[in-house]
Amino acid sequence: MNRCSVLVLAAGQGTRMRSRLPKVLHSLAGRPLLWHILQAVRGLHPERLAVVTGFGAEAVEHVLASPDIHWVRQYERKGTGHAVQCALPALHGLRGDLLILNGDHPLVTTAILDSLLQHHRSHGMPLTVLSMLVDNPSGYGRVMRDDAGRLLRIVEEKDASEEERAIREVNTGFYCLSLDRLSDWIGAIGNQNAQNEYYLTDIVPMAKAEGGVEVWMCPDAEGLAGVNDRAQLAELERVFRDRRIAEWMSRGVTFVDPSSCWVAADVQIGMDTVIESQVMLGPGTVVGEGCQIGPFCHIQESVIGPDCRILPFCHLEGTEVEAECTLGPYARLRPGVRLARKVRVGNFCEIKKSTIGAGSKISHLSYIGDAQVGSGVNVGAGTITCNYDGVHKHRTVIGDHVFVGSDVQFVAPVQVGPGATIGAGTTVTKDVPADSLAISRAHQTHVMNWAEKRKVRS
């Protein structure tokens, strides 16, 4: 009785974007436009989810590949009605209601789609059109009503008169209808219009003749806004950011300067975390409870445990940071880094593809790459793991409670046993036994009266 399927139209190029990239792959909040509407659709748990692709179909299907999507190709793009016609085989045998949606409305929510579905079911019409009221209707089809408020027709902008173009109620391109009637309606659509295209809106008079058409004007026009050009994309980016940050603040997260921050769509943030100005939290980021993220930090594809302090100007990508760590300022953690509890990575340090044990400190001006560092290790300023020989990468293994002096070079592959001490200025080229002292620097010598002799020579 309550079965529902969804068809998303995503075949257009989006010529006003002026891009080689399909419009639905342009990014909003770190994810493609089409990703956002698919997330909203999945909240309805549809019996079938079909997506029509056309321009750049291979790229769209690759980026958004998912086993729950039935992909449909529209090889010739001859209008929205033709796109639905291409999808009929993918919908064959289904019963119940069908939502037809456009793939370039990234702010739509599951709640809006569910309201459309319930409105359709409660009024019992064969077709329900979703409309909205906008200040600038440019680019949309206009909703024409009679004096009683009933739908007369929908006029595409290219076919509209000057008087019709002044109408502010517009068609969102979202429809809810009975699957039993879809095939007959689509088969009867013609292309006698300015574009010689098959308009999906032409099913409106057919539905009127069979029982009527309901129009539901959604009160959240921002949530239904589409993207036609880069200016609109930027505006929706702002709207999404403001809504998302407001949502996180309602959950107990502090944003010191919300308008200066950027948060990707899938970011997760724990309660009592404080995020200061100019912070970017990119896709795949999880921040635990009670953290502090300082100004100008950029974090993506990373998991930050609870009670961590990320000081200003840090960059984290593809890293895992356990609880109570302190990073920065100016620390860079590259993909493959894992920090255990209470690790300290200080200013101007870079770590790549390495694990750092609990309580270890890498405080100043060091590079640690392709390394395994144990617990309770102190790494002095200017330490470098020389992990690349020009052809291959090699690992450095440093045991627990090792003390590394300043300006040390580990020429990998090399291992340092637990409890060892590496003297300042040492170049380690062979394994160091546990609890030993390694020193490889030259003996210090003095040339007496050298300064006076230099003055005479000059």
pLDDT of residue 450: 86
Asked if 234 contacts 254 with a C-beta cutoff of 8 angstroms, the reply is no
pLDDT of residue 365: 97
Q: Measured between alpha carbons, how far is 97 from 174 in angstroms, rounded to an integer?
A: 13
Which amino acid is present at 20?
Answer: R
Q: Measured between alpha carbons, how far is 430 from 397 in angstroms, rounded to an integer?
A: 12
283: helix, coil or strand? Answer: coil
Q: Measured between alpha carbons, how far is 351 from 452 in angstroms, rounded to an integer?
A: 45
Task: Quote the tokens at residue 16.
Answer: 């006003």
Kindly list the structural domains of the chain, giving each domain's residue range(s) and its CATH number in brackets, ordered by start: 4-224 (3.90.550.10), 230-438 (2.160.10.10)
The active-site residue, picked from 298, 364, 401, 446, is 364
Task: Quote the tokens at residue 29.
Answer: 């909040």
Task: Quote the tokens at residue 75.
Answer: 């090889």
The alpha carbon of 168 is separated from its chain's Cα centroid by a whole number of angstroms, namely 33
| 364 is a catalytic site residue | yes
Residue 106 preceded by cis peptide, ω within 30:
no
Looking at residue 349, the DSSP 8-state letter turns out to be: -
pLDDT of residue 150: 84
Pick from 181, 187, 183: nearest CA to 207: 181
Residue 67: count of CB within 10 angstroms of its CB: 5
Asked if 284 contacts 268 with a C-beta cutoff of 8 angstroms, the reply is no
Which amino acid is present at 261?
Answer: C
Q: Measured between alpha carbons, how far is 458 from 454 in angstroms, rounded to an integer?
A: 6
Per-residue pLDDT 10s for the chain (458 aa) are: 478 999 999 999 889 999 999 999 999 999 999 999 999 999 999 999 999 999 999 999 999 999 999 999 999 989 999 999 999 999 999 999 999 999 999 999 999 999 999 999 999 899 999 999 998 888 788 998 888 888 888 888 888 888 899 999 999 999 999 999 999 999 999 988 878 889 898 898 899 888 889 999 999 999 999 898 999 999 999 999 999 999 999 999 999 999 999 999 999 999 999 999 999 999 999 999 999 999 999 999 999 999 999 999 999 999 999 999 999 999 999 999 999 999 999 999 999 999 999 999 999 999 999 999 999 999 999 999 999 999 999 999 999 999 999 999 999 999 999 999 999 999 999 999 999 999 998 888 888 988 888 888 87
Q: Measured between alpha carbons, how far is 322 from 52 in angstroms, rounded to an integer?
A: 43
